[in-house]
Chain A
Amino acid sequence: MATTFQSSLRSPADASENPVPAARATSALDLIGNTPLLEITRLTAGLTRPGVRIFAKLEGFNPGGSVKDRPALGMIRAGLERGDLKPGKVIIDSTSGNTGIALALVGTVMGYPVELVMAANVSRERKKIIEAFGAKAIYSDPLESSDGAIRMCRKIIAENPDRYFKPDQYNNEANARAHFDTTGPEIWRQTQGRVTHFIAGIGTGGTVMGTGRYLKSRNRSIKVIAVEPDDAMHGLEGLKHMASSIVPGIYHEHELDDKIPIETEDAYEMVYALGQVEGILVGQSSGAALLAAIKVARGLKEGCVVTIFPDFGDKYLSTNLWIGWQAWNRERLPQLLKKWNP
């Protein structure tokens, strides 16, 4: 059975109608979405049954460098449509980075100033990228993680409520909707409707909720599975341990078929493996996503497992992700994957 899984770079508005990539764009915003799907074959050789395939959607190809370009654009467009965002207002939100970068990018292109509250321990690269897009960074206490940034952002808005438009990615259904409108249809089309399992990490829940909802609307038997850190104290930037976090308003756990906890160190090792074996450098949330995808895939007789790689790894080169990585080599891979025997 010959199957082609197409990749393309087109405007999200055209996602489901026009399969031809745009040869050129007139705005960076036109390049959001339509990211390629990469089949993971080398890392998983011999691990899964012949009828099981694993694909990763490479969201690092978005112009802001992450999956967050989609909800940022969706939430700002929704704000404009509702009249909540209008000239003279400042876009503000709490974000540990990728959403900040995306809001900064979209705000700049649309002509709105952007202010972002983030814990002071987010990676240096992210802070610089945000500032490079002309946005203002405001830092909260690193000991209080993203919950501290959420609280500080609320306080800033409360002091001057008319000045700000807060996309509020944790509670804005336009976040999940962006994935329903773009990520979901793209995966459906790229797998020619063959996707059986969709797996994504939970940060706000937007990706897993919106994409999952779309895929289930096309085929109710598709399983939607979330990935989360195994403990409150973790190192998976971008992901939330739900039991110990402020639960986002757009996160509806009852819509999920399953939730898989991942240990930070395992996800880090998977990042090293992806670099050295598949030739793709990603962030730690992608390592966690692939481990969960492998776990699911190994239990299947046949299936098409699709996961999301939220970003590439260049933003994390100065972070703890790379502490001690020199000791890793591909001989450690079987040991890592052994844990994931069905």
Chain B
Amino acid sequence: MSVRVRVPTPLRKFTAGSEEVAAAGESIRSVIEDLERNHPGMRERLLDDKGEVRRFVNIYLNGDDIRFLDQLNSRVKDGDDISIVPAIAGGR
């Protein structure tokens, strides 16, 4: 399955500045593994030591927060849109 992943500014250093990258996988977890293969360093920013999504990271699948779907096991389909959004906005 090929999906589009929107990448937030703080992670664009791993994607050579690209706002959007293509990735493959059957689930959000396997998409993240694919991101890590092509953009090393991404997984550690998204997942904690236990392999769970870090609390301050929100991942949206076609606009829905995966915490309200099947978390990392949420299934993805060809052409799906995934957005990674930091839970905060920085600055004051």
Give A residues with C-beta under 8 Å from B: 68, 94-99, 118-119, 121-122, 142-150, 169-170, 203-204, 231-241, 244-245, 264-265, 268, 310, 319-321, 323-324
Q: Can you list 21 A-B pairs, Cβ within 8 angstroms, ordered by A?
A: A68-B92, A121-B58, A121-B85, A144-B8, A145-B8, A149-B91, A150-B91, A170-B91, A203-B90, A231-B45, A233-B45, A237-B87, A237-B88, A237-B89, A238-B91, A238-B92, A240-B90, A241-B10, A245-B91, A264-B55, A320-B56
- For A118, give its contact among B11, B48, B85, B89 (CB under 8 Å): B89
A146 touches B55 (CB 8 A): no
| Chain B residue contacts of A239, Cβ below 8 A | 90
Given A144-B8, A145-B86, A232-B10, A96–B92 Cβ distance below 8 Å? Answer: yes
Cα–Cα distance between A119 and B86 once the two chains are bound (Å): 11
Interface size, B (range): 20 to 34
Cα–Cα distance between A310 and B92 once the two chains are bound (Å): 10
Who on chain B is nearest to A320 by CB?
A: B87
B30 at interface, CB cutoff 8 A: no
| Chain A residue contacts of B19, Cβ below 8 A | 143
| Chain A residue contacts of B6, Cβ below 8 A | 143
| Chain B residue contacts of A324, Cβ below 8 A | 55
B89 touches A142 (CB 8 A): yes
Given A142-B85, A145-B8, A235-B86, A96–B56 Cβ distance below 8 Å? Answer: no
B9 at interface, CB cutoff 8 A: yes
Who on chain B is nearest to A235 by CB?
A: B56
